[in-house]
Amino acid sequence: MIKAVFGKHTALANRETGISIVNRAMVCIYFLILSMNAAFAQADETSSIKKLLHLEKTRGHGQCEILLINKDSGILNAQVYNTTGLNNCPPDQFDQIALKQLAQETGAYMVWKNPRRVWVVDNLTLSLIGEPRVFGGLQFNYIANMQMPPGFVPSTGQSAYAYQPLKIPRVCRFEYLKGSEVYMLRSPDGHTWVMQTYTSHNDLNLSIADLPQLAGKLTLPAGWHFKAKTLDRDLIIDTKGIANVVPDDLENMYQGCIDDASNFDPWD
């Protein structure tokens, strides 16, 4: 049983983003634009929060996501809706949601379903930026606005970005408690990525019991490593505007212990 606590949002501090000086002007401009976009997205995400939703005992709880996507000057912008805190997202009911029909009903350019996922976080806090909506008879919380990654193709989804770190607007707090098992990736640059959700979308038989041996199912690129570990203290990953995330090749999702988001690096 999930325990939910709603709280009014007060103020969240923005982080300053910096850019490195490089010799080539075009590269400098490119990274300047990326940094500005991240800063603006972070400011917009924190200022648009209506309330915070705190949930306890979420490990093993299912969730689904619907993205209402609109196109503006060639850029795909999405409103993100998630069932967390409202229901366990029954798979059969989620599968029956007709995307073309929903696009017509909502006026969206397109609608995309993020595959059903299961939380492996013990407690979590999510930001809500608007009122919930009902799609296909399921209630969804309005949790974020985001720009879709360049080259996004609905048919391939997140598998196209396997082991490619992404930055997304998000205000959230993930708590992995002492004694819990965590499932981690280590990237070649030395960053640790902690699994937040797994999915059986690509491996129909995948369950939480399989996660400690997940390395045998993954196709890890050179320099990437996987490890399961039992925590000897609470791990907190606290994101206040921009989250660093990465999917593996089975579309399980991990959040990075980057930019001082975590209270310690759990890899060692």
Cα separation, 170 vs 167, whole angstroms: 9
Residue 238 parent element (H or E): strand 235-247
- Structure tokens belonging to residue 144: 């974020």
The pLDDT profile of the chain, 268 residues, written as one tens digit per residue, is 565 544 433 222 232 333 333 333 333 323 333 333 443 344 454 557 889 999 999 999 999 999 999 999 999 999 999 999 999 999 999 999 999 999 999 999 999 999 999 999 999 999 999 999 999 999 999 999 999 988 888 887 777 899 999 998 889 999 999 999 999 999 999 999 999 999 999 999 999 999 999 999 999 999 999 999 999 999 999 999 999 999 999 999 999 999 999 999 999 9
* Residue 227, phi then psi, degrees to nearest 5: -155, 140
| Cβ-based neighbour number of residue 70 at 10 Å | 15
pLDDT at 40: 37
Tokens of 28: 């400098």
Confidence at residue 156, expressed as pLDDT on a 0 to 100 scale: 77
Under a CB-based contact definition with an 8 Å cutoff, are residues 228 and 167 in contact? no
Residue among 171, 180, 167 nearest 238 (CA) = 171
CA-closest candidate to residue 135, choices 77, 193, 89, 190: 89
63-to-11, 50, 66, 197 alpha-carbon distances in Å? 28, 21, 10, 9
d(CA 26, CA 32): 10
> Which tens digit of pLDDT belongs to each residue from 10-21?
222 232 333 333
pTM score, two decimals? Answer: 0.82
Distance CA 208, CA 110 (A): 32
Partnered with residue 66 across adjacent β-strands are 81, 113
β-strand partners of 16: none
CA distance 86 to 149: 28
Count of Cβ atoms closer than 10 Å to residue 68 Cβ: 21
* Three-state secondary structure call for residue 17: coil
State both tokens at 19: 């850019």
Q: What is the pLDDT of residue 155?
A: 80
106: closest CA among 141, 138, 133, 146? 133
pLDDT in tens, 62-104: 999 999 999 999 999 999 999 999 999 999 999 999 999 999 9
- Secondary structure of residue 205 in the 3-state scheme: coil
